[in-house]
Every structure is written in structure tokens, then in C-alpha cells.
Amino acid sequence: MADLAWLTARPIAHRGLHDAASGVIENTATAFSAAIAGNFGIETDIQISADGDAMVHHDDALGRLTEGAAHLADLSAAEIKAAPFKATADRVLTLSELCDLVGGRTPLVIELKSHFNGDRRLVQRAAQVLAGYRGPVAVMSFDPGMVEAARVIAPALTRGIVAERYYDHAEWDRLPASAKRRLAWLLHANRTRPQFVAYGVKNLPALAPLVARWVFGLPLLTWTVRSADDRAVAARWADQMIFEGWRP
């Protein structure tokens, strides 16, 4: 197994080191620059645009942080970049722009967002961009299909699975209970072969991620660490935390 010490060497800032009260908005160049300045790793999200580019954005649609309301999958990269944020002069970045900004100065942990619909264009684009990137980088996803695709398309690219114990948020209603159990218990591991696990801090300790860590030696990240209680759980059960709303 590849040496992944870089993955757990420093705390990882969730969507960059953002603070809306100070005008630093998540998943922007300003938030990523702040994480680099603070010597933190960066966790971020990418979505696919209508013309097949990888866009740095958490939500499926514009509107929460930006002007507009359309789904990113229905807009070109240029149209997405043209939508202004409501509280900053930043613009939505492409993955290529993010890589240029970071330039290998800190680890990048990139979540591949998925609609669980079999669309693998985002994996293909991410693999294409990251093939030329020389810094420490990993991709991860809640969707085992995306992780399996990453294993096939870009086997040298570090890959992980994101999971939690209880998939009770409304966004998971489309999945049957059996699928949620497979996700929670990492029962896809024989085909995805993740090299690390990122598990919800509210669900630790849990058997599946701890078996992955203790028996199979996979690094265990935990998300999203926001409170003193979360910090204690992360310190006890995980190798590193993905944090938000405070500075370690």
C-alpha cells in the first residue's frame, strides 16, 4: 500500500478555511488561500458542468451562496463562473484553477459529488486534470460507483470512501434501506478497494470504519469536526479530522 502519511499529517479544512462572518466563503479561492496560510489541508467538492468540466462547488444548484438557481449540470462552466457570489468577489473555480492555486503546497482531498445515476464524467474529468498535478491529492465519494470508477480509470490516484452510520437525511431518501446498509458497513470494499475512509464524527465509534483502520490499516478521517465533543471523538477514534468553524 502506498505511503499516505501526508493524508493525516495535518488537520483538513472543510471546504477551505472559511468564515462567512468575515466574508470568507466556503469553496472559494480566498478560503483555500487561508487554509494554505494556516498550514491546513484542504477538503473540497466538485460537480460536473453541462459541458463536462469539474467545478468546485458543494451544492447541486446555484442559489445558496451565489446568484442564480439553476442546477450546475444544466450550465456550462462559463455560465457557472459568471454567477457571482452574494458576499464575495470570488468566482466558482474549475478543478484546474484550484490545482493552479494550491500548487502542491498542501494536501487536497476532493469529494466527487454524485447523483447515484451512473454518470462517470466527473471521475473522468478529475482524473484528466489530476494526472498532471504534482501535489498530494486524493479523491473520495459517498458513491461506491464513483470510487470504483476512479480505481479503474486512474488506479494511481489515491481514493477513499465517504460514509456514515445512519443515512437519515432527506437527500438519501432515494436509496433503499438495503443500499444504505451496504454504504454504512462498507460492503462494497471488494470492488472499490478504498485506500482510506472518511466517516461521520457523529457516528464514531463504529465497527466498519474501525475494522478498516485497525485490521486493514486504512487511514481514517472523520468529518465534520465542529465542537469540543467532536474533537475528543476525532482524537480518540480517527487518524485525522476534517474541521469547520474553528482553528485547531
| Cβ-Cβ contacts under 8 Å for 211 (sequence gap 6 or more) | none
Q: Tell me if 89 is assigned to some domain.
A: yes
Helix (H, G, I), strand (E, B) or coil at 174: coil
pLDDT digits (tens, 9 = 90+) for 48-88: 999 999 999 999 999 999 999 999 999 999 999 999 999 99
Q: Is the pLDDT of residue 1 over 60?
A: no
Please state whether beta strands 54-56 and 41-48 pair in parallel, antiparallel, or not at all (unpaired): antiparallel
Q: What is the dihedral of CA 53, 83, 162, 147, to 10 degrees?
A: -10
* Alpha-carbon separation of residue 240 from 55, 106, 131, 159, 237 (angstroms): 26, 15, 26, 16, 9
pLDDT digits (tens, 9 = 90+) for 90-122: 999 999 999 999 999 999 999 999 999 999 999
Q: Is the pLDDT of residue 2 over 80?
A: no
Domain coverage including residue 48: 5-243
DSSP type of residue 20: G
Q: Tell me if 212 is assigned to some domain.
A: yes
CATH of the domain at 216: 3.20.20.190
Nearest-Å Rg of the Cα atoms of the chain is 17
Considering the entire predicted model, what is its pTM? 0.97
The pLDDT assigned to 197 comes to 98
Q: Tell me if 119 is assigned to some domain.
A: yes
Q: Tell me if 228 is assigned to some domain.
A: yes
Q: Tell me if 169 is assigned to some domain.
A: yes
**Total tally of structural domains belonging to the chain:** 1
Q: Tell me if 248 is assigned to some domain.
A: no
Q: Tell me if 97 is assigned to some domain.
A: yes
φ, ψ dihedrals at 56, nearest 5°: -85, 100
